[in-house]
Amino acid sequence: MSKIDLAIHGVPSRTPLAKTARRNAKIWLCLSLMATDALALVAGFAVALLVQEPRAVSDGLVTAMLGALFVHAAISFQNQAYSPRCLTRPGRCCRQALFSFATTLLVFLLVAFSLRVTGKVPRFAIGMGMVCTLILLIGQRLMICHFVRKTFGRLEVELVLVDGASVPPSYLDRDIIDARTAGLRTDLDDPYMLDRLGTLLHDYDRVVVSCAPERKAGWAQALKGVNIIGEIVVPEIADLEPLSTRQWGGVTTVVVSWGPLNLANRVKKRALDLVITVPALLLLLPVLVAVAIAIKLDSPGPVFFRQERMGRGNRIFHILKFRSMRVEASDANGARSASRDDDRITRVGRIIRMTSVDELPQLINVLFGEMSLVGPRPHALGSTAGDELFWEVDRQYWHRHALKPGITGLAQIRGYRGATNHRRDILNRLESDLEYQHGWTLLRDISILARTVQVLMHHNAY
């Protein structure tokens, strides 16, 4: 779709410009909160030191202050003190700030004690700085919350999808789209329709669906993989497997999806991807060039094989691999799984598949943000387990796309790779993917990456 504001006739809807401005404002306000916190820390302790101990300001104290700022920022980020919710909830905003400040002080005191420099610390100035900083921290956060609530009311960018039902009166000021007018269906057998829905919802924080009773179960399944808060206006909740319910303007909604990672965890996961991917691409450049030359000399055709795969939010992307099959025998839809004696595989292709070198170009997908180093493996749209498409075996298959797909994952280190000749082959992978999704930690990602080295050459790699 070129436009997403296909509103129901006669129902007001915000313009795309207003929606974009609201999303951008949320980002800039969160950054402003980080900046004002840092200024409050610097100003509070600087004033105290200059007033009480003007000669105590030294290079050592400046270094200590810079270190404290870094520690405070890291703790605050981990503590969700810079989340969008803190912009509109004064109580939560102040509690998170107090906890982060207290934890930073504890770290500072532990370091000072371990280094045995407590006697050199200007204690009265530190005590006065704590009081000044607390006043500035709480004061500026309360002012920001008041400004945001008065100026924006709410910061969440919300969409109402209507499919054969009426629009709740309290939702008339949201973006409203008629699913029929927009050509949207809850067809779980059509990856391109799911891609269209994922693309539509990409710029929203929350979507509420008002639909006919017979369509609620379909919408519930379609929303579980879109990686935003998804809710359905429904008086009954049977068979929807809801996560929770909400009340808004007197309307009851059922929450059927919730992104598995919050903002802080997404940033940590992305940081790990970049810290490893950028050096890896530089170090592996000679290997990549050598493999590319070998592929060109071995058989005619392009070096890379590009194929449509389903990514995060059920959005389709093109995965990159070194081409390991003859061009004329390539399977764009992945309907035929590679077998041990597959006649389509070239001589070089057999070597790079056996050693998993054919997967290395996916580091480029990770660099562009389409994939992660660790996550559910993305599958070709035509892949089957026996005679059934993957999503026909178990409808929970779509739920795994709430996270970015990965080069490796929990299923891979457990040995679930290779051909999917039976239903159990895909069910094993699905169970591992959902387990990983529901129990994600950064340490688990690091552990999976370390264990992946042990399965690079696997008996099922062919």
Q: pTM for the complete prediction? A: 0.66
Measure Cα distances from 312 to 191, 276, 377 in Å. 13, 21, 11
Instruction: Give me the pLDDT at residue 461, please.
Output: 53
Instruction: Give me the pLDDT at residue 109, please.
Output: 76
Instruction: Give me the pLDDT at residue 55, please.
Output: 54
Q: What is the spatial distance between Cα 163 and Cα 151, in angstroms, rounded to a whole number?
A: 32
Instruction: Give me the pLDDT at residue 290, please.
Output: 93
Instruction: Give me the pLDDT at residue 9, please.
Output: 42
Instruction: Give me the pLDDT at residue 3, please.
Output: 38
Please state the separation of Cα 216 from the chain's center in Å: 26
Query: Going residue by residue through the chain (462 aa), what tens digit of pLDDT does each one get?
Result: 333 344 444 444 444 545 566 667 777 888 888 889 889 888 887 776 666 555 555 556 667 778 888 888 888 888 888 888 888 888 888 888 888 888 888 887 787 677 665 555 566 667 777 888 889 889 999 998 888 888 877 777 788 999 888 888 878 878 888 888 888 888 888 888 888 888 888 878 889 999 888 888 888 888 888 888 898 887 777 677 777 777 777 787 878 777 778 878 888 999 999 999 999 999 999 999 999 999 988 888 899 999 999 898 889 999 999 998 888 767 666 666 666 667 788 888 888 888 889 999 999 999 999 999 999 999 888 888 888 888 888 888 888 888 899 999 999 999 888 778 888 989 999 999 999 988 889 999 999 999 988 777 655 554
Residue spans per domain, the chain? 16-151, 158-257, 263-455
Percent helix, percent strand, percent coil in the chain, to nearest 5: 55, 15, 30
**Tokens encoding 127:** 């005590």
Q: Are 138 and 94 in contact (CB under 8 A)?
A: yes
DSSP one-letter string for 227-241: SSEEEEE-S--TTS-
